[in-house]
Amino acid sequence: MITASIVTYKESLETLQTTVDSFLKTPLQKKLFIIDNSPENEFESKFKHAEIEYIFTDKNLGFGKAHNLILDKIDSKFHLVLNPDIIFPMDVIPKLIHQLNKEKVVSFITPRVTYPNGKLQYICRKHPTFFDLMNRKIKISKKQIFENEYRNQDLEKSFYPDFIHGCFMLFKTEDFIRLRGFDERYFLYLEDADICRKIDVLGKKKMYYPEAEIIHLHQKGSSKRLKLFFRHLSSAIKYFLKWGF
Can you tell me the distance from the alpha carbon of 140 to that of 123, in angstroms, rounded to the nearest whole number?
Answer: 20
Contact 190, 238 (CB under 8 A): yes
Picking from 122, 121, 92, 85, the residue whose alpha carbon sits closest to that of residue 109 is: 92
* pLDDT exceeds cutoff 70 at 221: no
pLDDT at 232 over 60: yes
Tell me the average pLDDT across 98-102.
98
How sure is the predictor about 224, in pLDDT bands with cuts at 50, 70 and 90? low
Q: Which pLDDT belongs to residue 113?
A: 98
Confidence of residue 219 (pLDDT cuts 50, 70, 90): low
Domains of the chain: 2-126+154-220 (3.90.550.10)
Whether the Cβ atoms of residue 240 and residue 139 lie closer than 8 Å to each other: no
Confidence of residue 223 (pLDDT cuts 50, 70, 90): very low
Q: Give me the chain's average pLDDT, please.
A: 93
Cβ contacts of 70 within 8 Å, gap of 6 or more: 3, 5, 33, 35, 55
The predicted structure's pLDDT at residue 134: 83
Interval 7-54: pLDDT, tens: 999 999 999 999 999 999 999 999 999 999 999 999 999 999 999 999
pTM confidence score: 0.93
Residue 93 has pLDDT above 60, yes or no: yes
Residue 143: pLDDT band (50, 70, 90) is confident
Reported as a single tens digit per residue, the pLDDT across 153-205 is 999 999 999 999 999 999 999 999 999 999 999 998 999 999 999 999 999 99
- Residue bearing the bigger pLDDT, 134 or 69: 69
Strands (DSSP E) found in 1-138: 2-8, 30-36, 52-56, 78-82, 86-87, 106-114, 124-125
Per the model's pLDDT, the better-predicted residue between 218 and 88 turns out to be: 88
